[in-house]
Chain A
C-alpha cells in the first residue's frame, strides 16, 4: 500500500533563505507520481509541483524544486528565497499510476517564514 511520511511537523525559516521540506514514500509500483500542495490558512489546496517516477530530471517550478531521490524513495521540496507568503501547511502526496488517480497525502509540514 502507498504511504507518505512527512517527519517535520513544523519548520521555521527566515525570509530570503532556502528551506527543504522532507517527504519519503513507500510503494511497490514502478510507475507513480509525486506532488506537493500548499495549504494557506485560508484553507484552499494549491498545486505546486509534480514529479513522475520516470522523470530523470528534478522538477522545478519557479522558486519550487523537487529533490527526487528514487533509490531513497524521497521527494523533498526545496523553496528558495522564502517569502512571508510562503507561510502555510505543505503536503506531499503520491499517486500510483497503475490504477486510479486517488492521491495519498502525508500529514503535512507547517512552514513559518519570519521577517
Chain B
C-alpha cells in the first residue's frame, strides 16, 4: 500500500458525460501528479499540483481539468468524454515539487470505461 488513495476504482460512463476522479496523497506529500495509461499512448503525464497550485502541464486535453484543494486532495475532471478517454488514470504524490531524489508513489488507479 503506497498510502495514496484514489476513488472510484472503476467508472463506467457514456460518451459526452463528465466524471470526477479523486485522489488523496500520502500524508505529508504536497505534490500531486496525474497520469493516464492507455493502450495506444502508454503512460503519460497529465498535470502536477503543488500545495494547491498548478506547477506543470503535460499532454492534458482542454476537456480535462484538475485542482488541488487546501486539504491537499486533488480531483481530475474529465468532460465531454469520448471513447478514446477510456484508460487507467493514476494519481501519484511526492514530498516536493522540484526534483531532488523524491520518488513518486502511485495510487491504485481509476479505470475509466467510456461506452
Partner-B contacts on A (CB < 8 A): 31, 33, 35, 37, 43-47, 50, 52, 91, 93, 95-105, 107-108
- Whole-angstrom CA separation of A97 from B55 in the bound complex: 15
14 A-B pairs besides A45-B92, A96-B99, A108-B42 with CB distance below 8 A are A33-B101, A35-B104, A43-B88, A45-B90, A45-B109, A46-B106, A47-B105, A50-B101, A101-B48, A101-B97, A101-B104, A102-B45, A102-B56, A103-B33
- Whole-angstrom CA separation of A31 from B88 in the bound complex: 30
Contact partners of A91 in chain B: CB under 8 A: 43
Contact partners of B90 in chain A: CB under 8 A: 45
User: In the complex, are the beta carbons of B99 and A45 less than 8 A apart?
Assistant: no
Contact partners of B43 in chain A: CB under 8 A: 91, 93, 105
Q: Name the CB-closest residue of A to B90.
A: A45
| Residue B108, interface by CB 8 Å | yes
User: In the complex, are the beta carbons of B108 and A44 less than 8 A apart?
Assistant: yes
Kindly list the 6 A-B residue pairs having the minimum CB-CB distance in the complex, ordered from nearest: A45-B106, A100-B56, A97-B99, A105-B43, A102-B45, A44-B108
Contact residue range for chain B?
20 to 34
Report the minimum CB–CB distance from B62 to chain A (whole Å).
19
- Whole-angstrom CA separation of A91 from B90 in the bound complex: 14
Other-chain contact of A47, B55, B97, B103 (Cβ < 8 Å) = B103
Contact partners of B96 in chain A: CB under 8 A: 101
Contacting residues of chain B (38-89) with chain A, CB-CB under 8 angstroms:
42-45, 48, 55-56, 58, 88
Contact partners of B24 in chain A: CB under 8 A: none
Contact partners of B31 in chain A: CB under 8 A: 101
- Whole-angstrom CA separation of A2 from B13 in the bound complex: 34
Contact partners of A33 in chain B: CB under 8 A: 99, 101
Contact partners of A50 in chain B: CB under 8 A: 101, 103
Report the minimum CB–CB distance from B8 to chain A (whole Å).
13
| Residue B111, interface by CB 8 Å | yes
Report the minimum CB–CB distance from A55 to chain B (whole Å).
9
